[in-house]
């Protein structure tokens, strides 16, 4: 797969105003404006803009070398008290989230651990933080995936329907980047993003886009057969395997007959890993499995959708180099580093790493990703609800 890069023809200033934009780069400008809208709506201006500019300066990134394994589907802490407290907090069941069927509520319940904000609502098994720093990482990942998939934000054959106007649900929308981009690209369609965290824009957004705080482990606040298209990304590590059928019963209920559901998930096992990276990755896999997560769901998205009542599933995947192979590889390396920083609490509590061991692992991964030319696969699948 050939990966195409972006050229950023402007300088970043205090007001983030483009210096010059060529006609052929209108699409890039639109996504840049979307990013600025998200950040401005929260009143936070971070270094993410500078990072994105550095990452996507070149016009192209080299092709990943052919490798048969790319399509193979299988491949003591210093303070015990602190560790126990963190594990208890991450598994706490005394937290609740306010939900509304209208505009998003600003009342959510979180717990701060090691300087990061975590959502510890019962039934949600997400080990990453829910804060502005994590929103930045998710935005970086969004643009990175769009780049990998050659400019596509979706793969289901619904382009004509989106232009004509349909109702779309962004299930687990995070900071709302996907919804904001899609709402800009398809002004005749209506987009609703839902998430248990409040990291999305509450006021500055396209008129055809809205966001709501919703706990997806409860009955969804929508009528039967009310959506034409449901988009789900990075949900596999959020909900326990035993809870997934119930969640998808709700998704099936609110999707219209003939409507399409699409999933995008990362394969948790990086390919061509170095020894330290492999060990750290394996420990994380075991830790997530202990929490009931189906860590290999990405590889079986088509069969998963079929098992939950959807018809004609289709699947494929793309690969991203980590730390090598051009600007896209640099972006993925940054994404991995930000992910590891977000996972530090999980590693040092549930996985029993010391701070020193964790820091050594992160440094080893930086070297090994380049040395072994590691890469990650992102899988997607889409399927439809039967007409009868």
Interval 337-351: pLDDT, tens: 999 999 998 899 889
pLDDT, average across residues 230-243: 92
Q: Give Cα separations from 126 to 122, 171, 234, 291 (angstroms).
A: 11, 15, 10, 10
pLDDT tens digit string along 137-154?
999 999 999 999 999 999
pLDDT at site 3: 31
Tell me, what CATH number does 189's domain have?
3.40.50.150
Binned at pLDDT 50, 70 and 90, residue 179 comes out as: very high
- Number of domains comprising the chain: 1
Q: Is the pLDDT of residue 76 over 90?
A: no
* Cβ-proximal residues to 69 (8 Å cutoff; 6+ apart), any chain: 75, 271, 272
Binned at pLDDT 50, 70 and 90, residue 217 comes out as: confident
Closest CA to 270 of 252, 291, 250, 284: 284
More confident residue, 192 or 99: 192
pLDDT at site 122: 67
Sign of the alpha-carbon torsion through 300, 301, 306, 308: positive
More confident residue, 206 or 39: 206
pLDDT at site 44: 32
**Residue 381 has which token pair?**
């699948």
C-alpha span between 133 and 294 (Å, rounded): 26
Of 11-15, 41-45, 338-342, where does mean pLDDT reach its minimum?
11-15
Contact 269, 281 (CB under 8 A): yes
Q: Is the pLDDT of residue 117 over 60?
A: yes
Is pTM beyond 0.85? Reply is: no
Number of helical (H) and strand (E) elements in the chain, helices listed first: 12, 11
Contact 374, 368 (CB under 8 A): yes
Helix (H) or strand (E) holding 68: none
Which residue range is the domain that position 219 belongs to?
3-384
Q: Is the pLDDT of residue 58 over 80?
A: no
pLDDT, average across residues 102-128: 64
Q: Is the pLDDT of residue 102 over 70?
A: no
Q: Give Cα separations from 187 to 158, 168, 180 (angstroms).
A: 15, 12, 10
């Amino acid at each position: 797969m050939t990966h195409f890069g972006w050229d950023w023809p402007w300088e970043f200033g205090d007001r983030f105003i483009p210096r010059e934009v060529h006609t052929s780069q209108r699409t890039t400008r639109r996504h840049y404006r979307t990013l600025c809208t998200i950040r401005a709506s929260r009143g936070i201006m971070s270094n993410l803009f500078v990072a994105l500019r550095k990452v996507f300066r070149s016009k192209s990134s080299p092709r990943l070398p052919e490798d048969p394994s790319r399509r193979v589907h299988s491949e003591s802490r210093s303070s015990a008290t602190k560790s126990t407290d963190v594990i208890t907090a991450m598994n706490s069941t005394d937290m609740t989230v306010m939900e509304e069927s209208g505009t998003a509520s600003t009342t959510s319940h979180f717990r701060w651990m090691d300087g990061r904000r975590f959502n510890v609502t019962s039934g949600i098994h997400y080990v990453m933080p829910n804060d502005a720093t994590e929103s930045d990482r998710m935005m970086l990942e969004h643009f990175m995936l769009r780049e990998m998939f050659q400019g596509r934000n979706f793969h289901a054959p619904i382009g004509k329907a989106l232009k004509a106007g349909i109702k779309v649900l962004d299930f687990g929308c995070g900071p709302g980047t996907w919804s904001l981009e899609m709402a800009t690209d398809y002004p005749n369609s209506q987009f609703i993003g839902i998430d248990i965290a409040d990291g999305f824009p509450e006021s500055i957004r396209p008129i055809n886009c809205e966001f709501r705080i919703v706990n997806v482990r409860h009955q969804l606040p929508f009528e039967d057969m009310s959506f034409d298209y449901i988009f789900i990304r990075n949900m596999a590590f959020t909900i326990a395997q035993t809870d997934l059928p119930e969640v998808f019963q709700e998704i099936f209920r609110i999707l219209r007959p003939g409507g399409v559901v699409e999933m995008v998930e990362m394969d948790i096992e990086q390919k061509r890993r170095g020894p330290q990276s492999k060990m750290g990755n394996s420990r994380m896999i075991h830790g997530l499995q202990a929490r009931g997560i189906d860590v290999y769901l990405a590889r079986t998205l088509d069969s998963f959708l079929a098992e939950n009542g959807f018809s004609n599933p289709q699947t494929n995947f793309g690969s991203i180099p980590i730390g090598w192979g051009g600007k896209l590889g640099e972006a993925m390396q940054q994404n991995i580093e930000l992910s590891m920083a977000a996972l530090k609490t999980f590693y040092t509590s549930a996985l029993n790493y010391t701070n020193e061991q964790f820091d050594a692992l992160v440094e080893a991964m930086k070297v090994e990703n380049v040395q072994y030319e590691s890469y990650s696969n992102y899988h997607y699948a889409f399927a439809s609800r039967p007409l009868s």
